[in-house]
Structure 1
Amino acid sequence: MKFLYLYVIFIAGVLALDKNKAQIFHNQLGYCEPFTVEFIAGLVSKEARQILDPGSRPRQKQLRYDLFTRQNPHKRQVLLTGDRNRLLTSNFNASWPVRLAIHGWNGQTTTCSNAAIKDAYLAKGDYNVVLVDWSDYSLDINYLRVVVEISEIAQKLNEFTRFLHNQTAIPYTAMYLIGHSAGCHIAGMAGKLLQPDKYGVIYALDASGPVHRTLDAKWRLAPTDAVYVESIQSDVALFGFPADSLAHASFYPNWGLGQPHCPNVTTMEPDFTCDHFGALYYFVESLRNPTAFGAIKCKSYDSIVNYKCGCGARWCSASAFMGGEPAVPKKGVYYFSTRATMPFGYGALCRMKRPLKPTIARI
């Protein structure tokens, strides 16, 4: 027991040092935190510490909102719901669109995947990029407990966006919510709470499925949760959501199975999560190049399941493009393929490929 306690203190110290140095965030190793650190050390150390000392469990969990603009592209400005002075003295500009990125289970805003979204938006133009940190909840080894808390998290996010709207008059339609994994369902629940108003767009990057696939639409992301909802589903075999009921337009890169760049050309996440993060990195590329991922429309989700979507040739002309900024509304089910190295997109042509086994089955 004493050894375990010392180990926990050591890991906690390492994480504290990482957080102290991580005032500069951009999508390069050495500036951002690879997900491997959070996954191995964060879950183990936090759970062990709370087992040893139940009083260390936070009595009240909070969300934090890290603002980045072109005036502060690498150093966050922390916003808090209700703190008007902090908002007014920040670089937030009501004439710029708001893009709120919501990480997934066991995530936090300092990870490389969040930095990738932020960097891509700020490379494109003037945006208020808000990285939503719900790590008080997400850094929990008990995933079922996190799922139960999603409504509470969404309520707090909804209150923050109402605060922005009330203080700056920025319309809700100028707000996009970009969720990854469980963050997609947080975005969806926040959209439900906002009604009859609606956010402009929800981009769902491989929405989590292991639990949410069994839930009614009122407890997960649904197409009615924003003016436009688009999903990119890259891991339907393991962590993702195996259906087309989340969005107006559902995109399935490489049939939603094994992604050609996996295991992990980005070197940012554990190999077995590479397919799950594929949607995120494809979306980031679409922000920099809105015609990177030409897709073809399929008859239904069954076409994806049976690999029977195409034009009868090896290369098909695109009928739509995935992602992009600003969003271009579409409807239906779409397939597109990707390269094994960056840049991942083929452009206006869609290459028909045989499905790869999920990466978890290949490593």
Structure 2
Amino acid sequence: MRLNIFKFFVFIGLIGLSFSYPQLYSLRGVFDTATNVTGGILKKVPKYIPSVSEVWTLGKDVIAGYPFEIASELINKVCSGVNAIEAVQSQVTPDVNSMTLRLITECQNYTFPILKASEMWKSPHFDPSKKVVVIISGWTNTINESSTIYEIGKAYLCRGGVNVVALDAGQYVNTLYTWSALNVDEIGKILASGLVELEKVVPLENIHLIGHSLGANIAGYAGKYFTSTTDRLLPRITALDPARPCFNEGEKLSGIERGDAEFIDVIHSNSGVLGKRVPVGDVDFYPGGTGPLRKGCFSIVCSHSRAFEYYAETVYPGYENNLMAVRCNSLANLKRGFCTGRPHTMGYGVSTKLKGSYFSDPDGVFPFGLPDNHEKPDVTQCGLCHSEEAKKPLVKF
């Protein structure tokens, strides 16, 4: 029974791969790779397939998240194989001439070609005395339809004292996932060229990259190329549930890695499916543990989004310490009282001295941080445009 269920998910996964890799079955090497991968996973069936009683006790994490974790494992392995033999090329190659950066304010957005990034840095709407946050959203997210950019941007505008900039790489990550993944390296390289220009007008310590999903891996490559160009490290990259499928340490597509910036903080929220489970930063936070679903979520997309929602919450004034975490090796051990270290801040106010893995158990609705003894300020309207003349919101949906 277990083997038949597994074969079903392998079959579904291969159907999906046939759409992502149109050349798959015409390339014997790729087919052999897929066969080897499937055989290897089949040997580990007991590890992946729980018994009926285990399903009953594990609840929604297994029922709702488990099939996707198997499919993700298969896609990740096959993607690694085809990348290794360079069997697939992206059909939508990034063009530096069409990529832009957008400066976001409460009432107006200003767009500049990335090749002319210096025009943004010299714009009267840009304040070089303030810090700069560059937000990079993930797969299928265009700049006008990105919840990542909207939520984090709104929080930073509410806080004030910062230039909010978003990378518009939509047409290169709004395509088949495999093609989007193959574009990440080049997009990161292009972004790095803009950051080189930015450093000429803003102190390096004032630059902070924040990426979600594929955007986290783009940020990692931007850090790599910035260092190779300037021989200096970006001060901080925040990786929000960095994309897992196709990105593996030591392979052609490695994604974000420790060392891409002086300090990398990571928030994992859909571990093992859309997001990476393994630690990849200087400090890795696992709010809600290492399972595929977060509290209050019944889909992997909801859990994948939680990473940027958690982070955005900590940016709001008065919410900086909402989400605290303790160094531990699992959420279960934290709940059992085996990890008794001092709680540390996750998100906006994280200490750059932290190292290791940290766990917490946030709530399932905003504010996700557990309530304390005083009333939190209302942040529902701050960061939004209140001018009657303005007709457009922060980000148009």
Q: State the AA in 2 paired with 1:341.
A: V
Higher strand residue share: 1
Which residue among 70, 76, 99 is the counterpart of 2:133? 99
Q: 1:316 and 1:127 mapped to 2: Cα distance?
A: 36
> Which SS does the other structure have where 2:369 is aligned?
coil
> Which SS does the other structure have where 1:225 is aligned?
coil
Per mean C-alpha deviation after superposition, the further-off stretch among 107-116 and 310-319 is 310-319
TM-score, normalized by length of structure 1?
Answer: 0.69
Q: Find the counterpart in structure 2 of residue 66 from structure 1.
A: 102
For residue 326 of structure 1, report the CA deviation from its aligned partner.
7.0
> Which SS does the other structure have where 1:114 is aligned?
helix
Q: Find the counterpart in structure 1 of residue 283 from structure 2.
A: 249
> Which SS does the other structure have where 1:121 is aligned?
helix
Q: State the AA in 2 paired with 1:100.
A: V
Cα shift readout 1:265-321 (whole Å, capped 9, x = no counterpart):
xxxxxx4400111111000001111111111101xxxx33xx443274499775211
> Which SS does the other structure have where 2:265 is aligned?
strand
Q: Find the counterpart in structure 2 of residue 78 from structure 1.
A: 111
Which residue among 173, 185, 194 is the counterpart of 2:217? 185
For residue 199 of structure 1, report the CA deviation from its aligned partner.
1.3
Q: 2:347 and 2:131 mapped to 1: Cα distance?
A: 16
Q: Tell me, yes or no, if structure 1 residue 291 matches structure 2 residue 321.
A: yes
Q: Find the counterpart in structure 1 of residue 238 from structure 2.
A: 203
Q: Find the counterpart in structure 2 of residue 36 from structure 1.
A: none
How many pairs are equivalent?
A: 274
Contact 2:246 2:253 in 1 (8 A): no
Q: 2:170 and 2:242 mapped to 1: Cα distance?
A: 18
Q: Find the counterpart in structure 2 of residue 89 from structure 1.
A: 123
Q: 2:149 and 2:281 mapped to 1: Cα distance?
A: 22
Q: 2:156 and 2:253 mapped to 1: Cα distance?
A: 31
Q: 2:273 and 2:225 mapped to 1: Cα distance?
A: 29
For residue 109 of structure 1, report the CA deviation from its aligned partner.
1.8
For residue 86 of structure 1, report the CA deviation from its aligned partner.
5.1
> Which SS does the other structure have where 1:117 is aligned?
helix
| C-alpha RMSD over aligned residues | 2.6
For residue 236 of structure 1, report the CA deviation from its aligned partner.
0.8
Per mean C-alpha deviation after superposition, the further-off stretch among 280-289 and 322-331 is 322-331
Contact 1:173 1:198 in 2 (8 A): no
Runs of at least 5 residues in structure 2 that lack an aligned partner in the other structure: 1-90, 374-397
Q: Find the counterpart in structure 2 of residue 174 from structure 1.
A: 206
Cα 1:182/1:348, change in 2 over 3 Å: farther
TM-score, normalized by length of structure 2?
Answer: 0.64
Cα 1:192/1:347, change in 2 over 3 Å: farther
Q: Find the counterpart in structure 1 of residue 305 from structure 2.
A: 277
Cα shift readout 1:40-84 (whole Å, capped 9, x = no counterpart):
xxxxxxxxxxxxxxxx9788363221102xxx3132111223434
Greater RCO (CA < 8 Å, at least 6 residues apart)? 2
For residue 140 of structure 1, report the CA deviation from its aligned partner.
0.4
> Which SS does the other structure have where 2:114 is aligned?
coil
Which residue among 359, 365, 373 is the counterpart of 1:341? 365
Q: 2:108 and 2:244 mapped to 1: Cα distance?
A: 33
Contact 2:195 2:226 in 1 (8 A): no
The equivalences for 1:123-142 within 5 A come to: 123-141=158-176
% identity of equivalent residues: 23
Larger radius of gyration: 2
Contact 2:248 2:254 in 1 (8 A): no
